Structure 1
Amino acid sequence: MYRSIGAIVTAVFTASLMTANPAAAAEAGCKVTYTVSGQWEGGFKADVAVTNLGAALDGWKLTWDWPSGQQAGRAWNAKITESDGQVTAENTPQNARIASTATVKFGFTGTWSHANTAPLAFSLNGVTCVHGGPNRTAMEHTAAMQPGWNLGNTLDATGPDETSWGNPRVTEALLDNVKAQGFKSIRVPVTWSAHLAQDGTIEAEYLARVKEVVRWALARDLYVMVNIHHDSWQWMSKMPTEHDSVLTRFTRMWTQLAGAFTEFGPKLTFESWNEPQFTGSTGKAQEIALNAELNAAFHEIVRRSGGNNATRLLVLPTLHTSTEQEYVDPLVEQIRGLNDPNLIATVHSYGYWPFSANVAGGIRYDATAQKFDTDAFDRVHNSFIARGIPVILGEYGLLGFDRHTGTIEQGEKLKFFEYVGYYARTKKITTMLWDNGQHFDRTMFQWKDPELFAHIRSSWTTRSGTADTDQVFIAKPSPVTARTIKLNLNGTSFSGLYNGNVALARGRDYTVDGDQLTLTASALTRLSGSRTYGVNAVLTARFSQGVPWRFYVITYDTPVLSSVTGTTDKFEIPTNFRGDQLATMEAKYDDGTFAGPHDWTSFKEFDVAFAPNYTDRFTALKAAFFANVKDGQRVTLTFHYWSGTKVSYHLTKSGTAVTGTPA
C-alpha cells in the first residue's frame, strides 16, 4: 500500500561546474536536491531538482550511484538509464537548456529491498556535485557535531579485517540505531597499515569499504570524522629515526585519501592522525616539532587537492592529544599561524589516571579526580575556544573500560560521566564517546549498561543529582542503625525516595536536611528483610531534573579468605565475600616496601594485578602481579572492601609456586 511520507530524505549537493562551452567556466557551480517524497514496501518515489549556479547549459546529464542497491523505474521530465548500479538522468527536448541560476526538475519511481539510502554524490555533465549542507563557521559546525560516538575497534583494527578485534561488520542498521540514540556525529577511526602496499598505496577494496561506511553515515545526516589511527604507534612513531620514510608514506596516504573523498561535502571532516607519539626522540621539543610538521603536511595536502577539500574542516591534534598546557600552546600557535578559519583542535581525556585505571587507591571520583577534569577543560577552553578555535574531545571514557566496565564501581563511574558531560558542555567542547563495543551492543542495538547511557545522554542537556555513594552497607552482626548520605544536588532539588514504584514516607522512612539524606533505622530494618548477604533492596532518589540515583541496601559480614597453594599463572584465594565487594588491594613486604607492579604505590591495579570473582567465590592474583614479586619474601596483602572492612592475607612466592594463608 502506498504511504506518502513527504520529504523523507533530502540531500543537497553543490560543486563547481564546467559548461558545454569549454572556454566558459562557471563561477558558482550547481546544486542538486534529492527528495524521497513517498515510500512504501519495496518501492519509493523521488523528486530531483537541479539548479545551475554557473553559466547557462545547453543539454545535461546527471549521474549517481545507488548506495543501497536500489533500481530506478518510470521517470518523468527526464530519460533515465541504469547500468551496474549507476544511474544516468538525461534531459528531454523540453528542458535541455538550464539558464544560470535556473532550476530543472524531474522525478521517478524506484524499487528497494533492504534499505533506501539517499545517494550522496551526483555528477552533472561529468563534474561532481557534492553533498552541501548548511554554510556554517568552524565553531558552528563543531557545535552541530555534539554529541559524537566512536566506531571503535572496527575499521581501526590492526588485523586484515574490520572484525579482527571481535566486533561485527558495520551495517546500515547499526548507524540507524546509533543515530536513534541521539548522536549527531560519528568518528570513524581507521588503521590503514594492514592495507598498504610497500610504496604506501592504499588497498582499493579497503578504501572502498571505508568510503561505503562514511557514505552510509552521511546519508543519515550524521557528521563524520575520518583519520589515520593506529598507524600512529605502528610506524609513524618512528619518525625521529626514520624521518623521510615516515613523512613520505604519510603524505602519500593523505594524497590518496584527499582525492578519494573529494566528492563528499562539508559534513565529512579529516583528522590528521590519532594520539601523536614518537619513540627514539631527543625529547619533548623534537616531538612537538614533528607533530607540527605532520599536521602542516596534512593541511597542505588536503588544501592543495582543491574542490571541497579547499574548505573542508580539518582536525589537528596536540602531541599525545593531551590537554596539558605544554602541548596545547604549540598547537594554538600553529593553528593561528596557518590563518585558516576551517581548522579544529582535538584532544582526548580519560580522566585522572589513578581513578580511570583504578590504581594507586583511586577508587572514587572525589574532589581530586574531578579537579583534573575541570582543569583540563578550562585549559582547552581558555587556550583554543576563547581564541575562536573550536575543539573536539575526540575520545573520552575510563581506561579501566578497556578491560571491562566493572573495573570502576558503578556509582563512581556514573558521577564521572555526569560531570564530564556537563562541564564539557559548559566549555563548548564537542564530545565523542569512545566505544570499542563495550557500551552499545552492535548486534542487539542495546546499551549494555542502560543506567550509564542515561547519565551520558542526560549530561548533554542538563545535570543530574548524585550522591557520595550508591551503597548502604549494613553489618549483619550489628543492630540496624540510621545512615546519613551526602547528596550532590548539582543544581537540582530532591523530590522523593522510592523503593521500586512505592514512595517512601518522608519523616518516617527518611529525612532530608539540605544535602543530607538520612535513612531511618526502621526503614532500613524493613528494607533489609531477613538480612541475607548481598543486596536486599534498591532505592531510587528522584530529583527535579535529570536521571534518578540508585542506592543499594546491602547486608554484609567480614569476608573470609582461606589458605591455598597455586602458581604464578593461576593463584585463586578462596573467598567467602559474605555480601561485601572488593574495592582495592595493597601489597607490602615485611620491611614496608611495596610489592608487585607500580612499586611506587602499595595499592595495585584492579583487574590487572588482582580481580574478585563473586560467582565462583575466589580472589585471583594475576601473573602480572607475581612478575614483580620477589622470591622468598613474605608479602602482606590488605584487601579493602567497599563496606570499609579490611582483611589481611600473607603469601610467599618461590619460583613459580605460591603459598597463601590468612594473616
Structure 2
Amino acid sequence: MSPTTVHRRRRRLGAIATAAVAAMTAGLFGAVSAQAAQGCEVDYEVTGEWPGGFIADVQVTNLGDPVDGWSLEWDWPDGQRVTSMWNAKHTASGETAEAESYGYNAKIATGDSASFGFTGSWSGENTDPTGFRLNGRLCDGTTGEPTETPTGGPQEWDNATEQVAAMEPSTNIGNTLDALGGETAWGNPMITEELLQTYKAEGYNSIRLPVTWDEFTGPAPDYTIAPERMERVAQVVDWALENDLQVMINLHHDSWMWLDELPNDHDNVMAKFEAMWTQIAERFKDYPDGLSFESNNEPQFVGKEGDAGDPYNEELNRAFYDIVRGSGGNNADRLLVLPTLNTNAAQERLDPVKAMIDSLDDDMVAATIHYYGFWPFSVNVAGFPTYEAQSQADLAGSFQRTHDTFTANGIPVIVGEWAILNYGYTGPEVVEYGEMLKFFEDLQFQARQYHFTTMIWDAGQFLNRNTLQWRDQYLFDRISSSWTTRSGSTSFDRIYLEKAGTIGDVSQTLNRNGLEFEGLWDGDAQLVEGTDYTLSGDTLTVKAATLTRLAGDRAYGTNATIEARFSAGVPWRINIVSFDQPVLSDATGTTSLVIPTQFKGDHIEQMEAHYADGSNAGPASWTPYQESNVSWLPNYSGGTITVPEAFVNAIRDGEPVTITYHFWGGDSVDYTVVKNGGTVTGTAS
C-alpha cells in the first residue's frame, strides 16, 4: 500500500467552551444524579488516502466523570468501512463503526484522552463521519447522564465458545520459553512486557506461550519444576494478562523429548506428566480466566501411528483434565484445550477427541488442531509450487471436517499453529511469496467462516523481537486485514519479461474473492483502463506499451511494482521482472555441491531429478520433483545453487543424475551430477 499523505484538517466534535462551562457548573453545584456524568469530544483526522482506501487517527477526550471501559460508535456517511484497527477492537459492521477499548486503555480520566487508528475503504466520497457516541452518549461537548451502560471492565465468559472467540486473533511466541538450552538459545531475545504490548497494539487478543519444562524438572519421584522456571513463566503470564491479552500455556517440546515414550515406559512417563501438571495447576489455580491450559503440543507416540496412538493421546488428555479440574480455585472452570493426535485434522483423529469431550460434559473445554497447509505445497515438493486446486481442497476439507465434528456441536476450535513450514525472513523462498499470500488469505477467510481462533506460529520470523517492528510490513498488513475482510489477488504476483525479447500484452486472472476490482496503480498514479490495461470478465490484460514503460532499462530483476486494488482488503502487488535464461557452471565438492550460477533476474520454481533410466533420484524417491531446502538451496544474492548433503547421500554412487531446474520465467536448465566415493561433480549441459 502506498497511501498519499493527506494533511486534512482535524474535525473536532464538541465545543471546548461549552464543556468548560459544564465542568465548572458541576464543580460549583455538585452532582444532581447518582449516575456518572458523561461528555466527550472527538478529533478525527485522515492521515493517508489513496483511491479506495485511507488511514485515519481518532482521539476521544473524556469531559465527564472517569470512564473505565469505553465504546466509541459512529455512522459512515458515504458507505465507508473499517478494514483493520489498532489500539481498539472493531466490533461492528455495515454503516455503523464501533471501536471498543482494550484492558490497557480502558480507563480515561476526566480531561484525558484515548487514541486509536484504522485503515478503511471508500468509494465515491470520503466525507468525515459525524455523530460520534461514547458509551452511547453523543460527543457534542456537553456533559450529562449516560444513555447506555458503559462497556469494558473485567471479562468473564459463560462458556468455552465465548472465550475462544475472544482470543481471536492470536499469535505464538515460539522458539523462546520452549527453546532447548534456555530462553535465548534459539536466537530470540527474552520475552519482555514491551513485546506483549506490541502484539496487543497490533491487534492481537491472545498469545499461545509454548513452554518446554523438561530441562527444568528434577528426577523421580517428585519431578520438581525449578522455582525460577515456574516464576519466569508466571512473570510472562502476568504481563500478558495485565495488558489485556489472554494467554494459553502448555507442555511443548516435552511431547517428543519424553512423552512420546508413553507406550514403552508407561508408568514413569505418566508419573512425570501428572507431576508437572499438578505443579502448574497449583501455581496458577488462582489466576483469572484469561489464562488457559493446553494439555501438550502435537502429541505423538513411538511405534504407535494412526489409530494405535489415539488411546495414549486420550490417556494424557484425561489425566490433564482430571488434575487441573481437581486442583481447586479457578481451575474448576478454567478453559482447557485438548489436542488431537499429532494435532491432525483427519477425521479418524478428530473423532476420538470429540467422543472424549462429549463424555466430559464440560462447556469449558476446547479442541485444537494445527495446519501448515497441504504438505507438498508447504515444502515445495512433488510438483506443487503454487496454491492450486489440490492445496485449496486440502485446506477446505480439513477445516470443513473440523467444523462439522467440533464447532457445529458446540465445541470451539483453536488452530494452535499455522503458517508455512520453514518460512523464514532470511534465505530463499520455500514457497513463492504471492502463493504464500494466497494461502494465508484463504486460511484466515475459512477460519472466520467456521469461527475458529487462529494462532500464527511466530518464532521471530514475522515480528522482529529486538526492534519490535514487522520484518515485512506488507505481509503483516495482509495478515491483519484478513482478520476482518478478504483481499483480492491475481493469478501470479510477477510478470516476467525476457530482457532481449519483444514485450507483448500479458494477461492474468483476477481472484476477486467476492470484492469489486477497482483498477491498477503505479505508485500514486492510476493506470487507465482501455489504454494501459483491459478487463474482460476476470481476465486482466496489461498492455505491451505499459509493460515497456514500467520495465524501463530492463535491468535484471524487479523493475517496477504495480498494485491491483479491490473494494476491501490490502492491494495485491504485481512485480514487473526482467530476466534472461540462468547460466550454471561446473563444480566439484565432497559431501555437497555448490554450483556457481548467474540467475539473471529469475528464480527457481522447482527441481526435478532423474537417473539415466528415467527413475527418480533424490531423497523423495516417490517423486521426480525434490523438496526445496532439502535437495536444492539457491542463494540469489550470492549467485549459487547448493545441492545439499541430503541429496548427495541419497543418490547412487557412479550413476549420473540429471537435475532439471525449472524457473518461474519459463526456462528449464539441465545439470548433471555424479557421486564417486567422497567426491561429487557437477557439469553444465
Q: Deviations over 1:376-398 (max 9, x none)?
A: 00001000010000110000011
The one of 498, 505, 528 equivalent to 1:475 is 498
Residue aligned with 1:607, SS: coil
RMSD: 2.2
> In the TM superposition, what are the counterparts of 1:277-316 in structure 2 within 5 Å?
277-281=300-304, 283-316=305-338
Cross-structure match for 1:61: none
1:627 is aligned to 2:649? yes
1:196 is aligned to 2:217? yes
Say which structure, 1 or 2, has more relative contact order (CA 8 Å, 6+ apart).
2
The one of 574, 577, 582 equivalent to 2:604 is 582
Cross-structure match for 1:374: 396
Cα offset for 1:303?
A: 0.7
Cross-structure match for 1:496: 519
Q: Whole-Å Cα distance in 2 between the matches of residues 486 and 619 of structure 1?
A: 32
Q: 1:392 to 1:171 in 2, by over 3 A?
A: same
CA contact (8 A) 1:482 1:521 kept: yes
Q: 1:176 to 1:661 in 2, by over 3 A?
A: same
Q: 1:243 to 1:404 in 2, by over 3 A?
A: farther
- 1:432 counterpart letter in structure 2: M
Q: Whole-Å Cα distance in 2 between the matches of residues 287 and 500 of structure 1?
A: 55
Q: Whole-Å Cα distance in 2 between the matches of residues 646 and 237 of structure 1?
A: 44
1:183 is aligned to 2:204? yes
Cross-structure match for 1:102: none
1:162 is aligned to 2:183? yes
Cross-structure match for 1:88: none
CA contact (8 A) 1:612 1:619 kept: yes
Q: 1:35 to 1:486 in 2, by over 3 A?
A: closer
CA contact (8 A) 1:7 1:35 kept: no
Q: Whole-Å Cα distance in 2 between the matches of residues 321 and 9 of structure 1?
A: 40
Cα offset for 1:595?
A: 1.2
Cross-structure match for 2:267: 244
Q: Whole-Å Cα distance in 1 between the matches of residues 597 and 354 of structure 2?
A: 54
- 1:165 counterpart letter in structure 2: W
Cross-structure match for 2:291: 268
1:134 is aligned to 2:156? yes
The one of 441, 446, 449 equivalent to 2:472 is 449
CA contact (8 A) 1:162 1:168 kept: yes
CA contact (8 A) 1:405 1:438 kept: no
The one of 385, 388, 404 equivalent to 2:410 is 388
Cα offset for 1:528?
A: 1.3
Q: 1:563 to 1:153 in 2, by over 3 A?
A: same
Q: Deviations over 1:188-212 (max 9, x none)?
A: 0000000000021100011000000
Cα offset for 1:132?
A: 5.7
Q: Deviations over 1:389-413 (max 9, x none)?
A: 0110000011131686722111001
- 1:627 counterpart letter in structure 2: N
Cross-structure match for 2:460: 437
1:356 is aligned to 2:368? no
Cα offset for 1:262?
A: 1.0
Cross-structure match for 1:100: none
Residue aligned with 1:615, SS: coil
Q: 1:37 to 1:374 in 2, by over 3 A?
A: closer
Residue aligned with 1:232, SS: helix
Residue aligned with 1:315, SS: strand
Residue aligned with 2:463, SS: coil
Cross-structure match for 1:255: 278
Cross-structure match for 2:387: 365
1:341 is aligned to 2:351? no
The one of 243, 253, 275 equivalent to 1:220 is 243
Q: Deviations over 1:289-338 (max 9, x none)?
A: 01101111111111111110000010001000100000000000000011
CA contact (8 A) 2:395 2:443 kept: yes
Residue aligned with 1:407, SS: coil
Q: Percent identity among equivalent residues?
A: 47
Residue aligned with 1:659, SS: strand
Structure 1 stretch 472-481 or stretch 488-497: which is displaced more? 472-481
Cα offset for 1:7?
A: 6.0
Q: Whole-Å Cα distance in 2 between the matches of residues 178 and 226 of structure 1?
A: 17
- 1:554 counterpart letter in structure 2: V
Cα offset for 1:133?
A: 2.5
CA contact (8 A) 2:286 2:331 kept: no
Cross-structure match for 1:593: 615
Cα offset for 1:567?
A: 2.1
The one of 254, 275, 284 equivalent to 1:231 is 254
- 1:241 counterpart letter in structure 2: N
Cα offset for 1:553?
A: 0.8
Q: Whole-Å Cα distance in 2 between the matches of residues 523 and 35 of structure 1?
A: 51
Q: Whole-Å Cα distance in 2 between the matches of residues 513 and 136 of structure 1?
A: 51
**Unaligned ranges ≥5, structure 2:** 1-60, 70-104, 112-152
The one of 342, 345, 348 equivalent to 1:326 is 348
Q: 1:420 to 1:366 in 2, by over 3 A?
A: same
Q: Whole-Å Cα distance in 2 between the matches of residues 364 and 36 of structure 1?
A: 48
Q: 1:561 to 1:378 in 2, by over 3 A?
A: same
Q: Deviations over 1:413-471 (max 9, x none)?
A: 10010110011110111000001111111111111121211111111111000111001
1:642 is aligned to 2:668? no
Cross-structure match for 1:538: 561
Cα offset for 1:486?
A: 0.5
- 1:164 counterpart letter in structure 2: A
Q: Whole-Å Cα distance in 2 between the matches of residues 242 and 9 of structure 1?
A: 54
Q: Whole-Å Cα distance in 2 between the matches of residues 483 and 274 of structure 1?
A: 47
Cα offset for 1:504?
A: 1.2
CA contact (8 A) 2:66 2:110 kept: no
- 2:572 counterpart letter in structure 1: W
CA contact (8 A) 1:132 1:266 kept: no
- 1:343 counterpart letter in structure 2: V
**TM-score, normalising length: structure 1:** 0.80
CA contact (8 A) 1:528 1:537 kept: yes
Q: 1:407 to 1:284 in 2, by over 3 A?
A: closer
Residue aligned with 2:442, SS: helix
The one of 577, 580, 584 equivalent to 1:554 is 577
Cross-structure match for 2:24: none
Cα offset for 1:661?
A: 1.3
CA contact (8 A) 1:358 1:400 kept: no
- 2:270 counterpart letter in structure 1: L
Q: Whole-Å Cα distance in 2 between the matches of residues 563 and 39 of structure 1?
A: 75
CA contact (8 A) 1:400 1:408 kept: no
Cα offset for 1:557?
A: 1.3
Cross-structure match for 2:448: 425
Q: Deviations over 1:168-187 (max 9, x none)?
A: 00101000001111000100
Q: Whole-Å Cα distance in 1 between the matches of residues 107 and 606 of structure 2?
A: 57
Q: Whole-Å Cα distance in 1 between the matches of residues 342 and 436 of structure 2?
A: 24
Q: Whole-Å Cα distance in 1 between the matches of residues 176 and 447 of structure 2?
A: 27
Q: Whole-Å Cα distance in 1 between the matches of residues 106 and 171 of structure 2?
A: 27
Cα offset for 1:136?
A: 2.7
Cα offset for 1:608?
A: 1.9
